[in-house]
Every structure is written in structure tokens, then in C-alpha cells.
């Protein structure tokens, strides 16, 4: 199988490096200083599992690659509207596109069935740019459960975790999911294939929708938010609102709010990805993680008082900060 990692940042470059080290045919798409460093020195990975360096094909020109078997979207959700139309040269008749984005993905209501079939969220897919460029039959969902960061161009620090869940939006166990999972397992990842990808999206989102924006507003770690009496109450209110949205969509989550809180406390002094992005001067994944939940709640006529308040404050923080930069 021929893979392209479209967006070889912290997550994508780490995946690509492990895949290349395992002998898989993988090309990394990147830009700027990070691109040039990987072209000149390869990808260098620093990990608790052992440091390594590997060379793989790295490019900033998708036009030259031709159709491939699998495109793994490694960019943050807010970069997809710009990237998606540029993927056309990579897409043959059977090319699979694997999404790795946090929050509610653009494809969530494709092959969903029922009254919500085909619903498009403006905050995730403005103007339908992504869904127009990537046909529904190509999509395989994934959820990433590892943490990485770029510590300098071409150098990735793997902090913890090695699991990637894969799932078909229609809930089937497909041959293509199995083959992609086998390749990722060969590269050293744990890669279960789930028939309940939407449930898994909401389990992860249940924590992210509350902890991520509150951490950006306060600078607090997970354990600090859980143990603060007033903030933990706010977190629970946001989770209750998110859980109500999931329920209205027909999902009964396999984890309780208290279990999600306990899991976050166990992680300890960990900064959420949104806080890390804020401190590094990067854009925030606010719309896919929080804005999409607010938009869904509004469409469904659900009160989203706490979620909307935190969303509005975090959005203003990001806007004020971008003006200063």
C-alpha cells in the first residue's frame, strides 16, 4: 500500500517516521522549515520507547505524487478547508482518506442514517469545502490516542501513547480498515478497528469540550481543573450539556461523567492540546472541539449555556491574541 501523510506536523511526522522505519511506502507532505529539515536530515524522533532517525520521501508538492492507496490527514481541523481541495491529485478510484482530527469531524453525518443524514456543520466545514473535495465513500474515521510535539524543525518528541482507533462511518468491519490497521500495527501502533467510531468520538470529546477551553482560559492542568471545586462544577455542567447532545443524536455513551473526571485526574499535571497550542502561539482547534457542539445544540434546541459561555470567552481570547501577534 502506498501512503501519503497530508500534514506531517507533530502527529503526522511521528506516524510517518514509524511507518517508514517499518518499511512501509509513505510520503510526508509538509511546509516551511519543518519540510526542509526533514528533507535534509530525515525525521528525528525522541521517545520514551527509544530515539530513532529515519529518512522518507518528503515533499511540499502534492501534484507530483499521483494517486495513492491511503491519504492520512495529519493537519488540525482548522487547516482542512484549505488542504482538502488540494488532495485531488492523490485520489484514485479506491483511495481511502483517513481523518485524524480532534472533535467532531466534517464527515460525522455522512452514512449516519436517520433524520440527521448529510447534516453539515458550518463551524467544521464552512461552505461545504471539505465534503465537496473528499467524497463520503473514501472516508475512514480514526481517533489518535498519543501525544507528540515538534521541538525543533524535523525533530518530534513522542510524549506518551501509541493507539489509533479506526472505524468505518457506516459501522462495518471493512477489508480496507483491516489492511490499514495491519500496516499501522506493523509500524508499532496499537490499532483496533471499531464498529462504533461515533461513540468513541464522543467519549473523547466529552472531556475535550470542557477541559480544553477552560485550560486555555486558566492555564490549568487536568488535575488542577478536576480538583478545583468551582471549576470542576463548571466542567461537569459542560459535560452534561455535551452528553445531552450525544443522547439527542441517538448515542448512549459507555462512560459516565464521573468516570471521565476520574480518568482526567489520573492523567495528572498534563496540559491539554489547546493550552499547548495557545502557549506556542498556534491557532486553537476551538471550532471542531467546542463550536461544533454548540452548533449542534443550537440546531437541536438544547440549552448550551455553560458550553456557549466558555466557547465565547475562548474565542475572544484567541482573537485578541492573534491581533497582538
Note down the domain range covering 47.
2-195
pLDDT tens sequence across 227-275: 999 999 999 999 999 999 999 999 999 999 999 999 999 988 888 999 9
**What's the pLDDT band for 325 if we cut at 50, 70, 90?**
low
**What pLDDT, on a 0 to 100 scale, did the predictor assign at position 121?**
96
Confidence of residue 36 (pLDDT cuts 50, 70, 90): very high
Q: Looking at the structure, tell me whether residues 170 and 185 fall in a common domain.
A: yes
Q: Identify whether residues 176 and 236 lie together within a single domain.
A: no
- Cell 495529519 locates to 74
Do residues 46 and 154 both lie within one domain? Answer: yes
- The CATH number that applies at residue 239 is 1.10.1040.10
Last residue of a domain, one of 195, 212, 236: 195
Task: Report the distance separating Cα 54 and Cα 245, nearest Å.
Answer: 44
Cα(22)–Cα(252) distance, rounded to whole angstroms?
A: 38
Q: Count other C-beta atoms under 10 Å from residue 293's C-beta.
A: 31
Residue 299 has pLDDT above 70, yes or no: yes
Q: State the pLDDT at residue 232.
A: 98
Q: At which of 195, 225, 249 does a domain end?
A: 195
147: which DSSP letter? E
Asked if 104 and 229 sit in the same domain, the reply is no
- Of the chain, the percentage scoring pLDDT greater than 90 comes to 93
Shared-domain flag, residues 6 and 99: yes
Query: Which of 195, 215, 243 is the last residue before a domain boundary?
Result: 195
Q: Tens of pLDDT along 123-137?
A: 999 999 999 999 999
If asked whether residues 23 and 171 sit together in one domain, one would say yes
Q: Do 22 and 138 reside in the same domain of the chain?
A: yes
Q: Which of 187, 215, 213, 237 is nearest to 311 (CA)?
A: 213
32 and 174 share a domain?
A: yes
- Catalytic residues, by residue number, are 204
Indicate the number of domains in the chain. Answer: 2
Task: Look up the pTM and report it.
Answer: 0.94
Same domain, yes or no: 189 and 205: no
Amino acid at each position: 500500500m502506498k501512503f501519503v501523510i497530508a500534514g506531517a506536523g507533530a502527529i503526522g511526522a511521528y506516524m510517518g517516521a514509524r511507518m517508514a522505519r517499518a518499511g512501509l511506502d509513505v510520503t510526508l507532505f509538509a511546509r516551511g522549515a519543518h519540510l526542509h529539515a526533514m528533507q535534509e536530515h530525515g525525521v528525528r524522533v525522541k521517545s520514551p520507547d527509544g530515539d530513532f532517525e529515519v529518512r522518507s520521501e518528503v515533499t511540499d508538492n502534492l501534484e507530483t505524487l499521483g494517486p495513492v492507496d491511503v491519504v492520512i490527514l495529519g493537519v488540525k481541523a482548522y487547516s482542512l478547508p484549505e488542504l482538502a481541495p488540494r488532495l485531488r491529485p492523490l485520489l484514485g478510484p479506491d483511495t481511502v482518506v483517513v481523518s485524524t482530527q480532534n472533535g467532531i469531524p466534517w464527515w460525522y453525518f455522512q452514512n449516519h442514517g436517520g433524520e440527521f443524514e448529510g447534516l453539515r456543520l458550518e463551524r467544521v466545514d464552512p461552505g461545504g469545502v471539505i465534503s465537496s473535495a473528499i467524497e463520503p465513500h473514501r472516508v475512514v474515521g480514526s481517533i489518535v490516542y498519543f501525544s507528540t510535539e515538534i521541538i525543533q524543525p524535523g525533530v518530534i518528541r513522542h510524549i506518551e501513547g501509541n493507539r489509533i482507533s479506526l472505524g468505518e462511518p457506516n459501522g462495518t468491519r471493512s477489508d480496507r480498515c483491516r489492511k490499514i490497521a495491519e500496516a499501522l500495527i506493523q509500524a508499532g501502533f496499537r490499532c483496533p478497528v471499531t464498529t462504533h467510531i461515533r461513540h468513541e468520538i464522543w467519549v473523547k470529546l466529552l472531556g475535550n469540550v470542557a477541559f480544553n477551553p477552560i485550560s486555555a482560559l486558566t492555564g490549568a492542568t487536568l488535575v488542577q481543573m478536576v480538583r478545583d471545586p468551582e471549576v470542576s462544577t463548571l466542567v461537569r455542567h459542560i459535560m452534561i450539556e455535551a452528553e445531552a447532545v450525544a443522547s439527542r443524536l441517538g448515542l448512549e455513551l459507555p462512560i459516565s461523567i464521573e468516570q471521565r473526571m476520574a480518568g482526567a485526574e489520573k492523567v495528572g499535571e498534563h496540559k491539554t492540546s489547546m493550552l499547548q497550542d495557545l502557549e506556542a502561539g498556534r491557532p486553537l482547534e476551538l471550532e471542531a472541539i467546542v463550536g461544533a457542539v454548540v452548533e449542534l445544540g443550537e440546531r437541536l434546541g438544547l440549552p448550551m449555556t455553560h458550553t456557549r459561555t466558555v466557547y465565547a470567552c475562548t474565542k475572544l481570547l484567541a482573537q485578541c491574541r492573534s491581533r497582538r501577534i
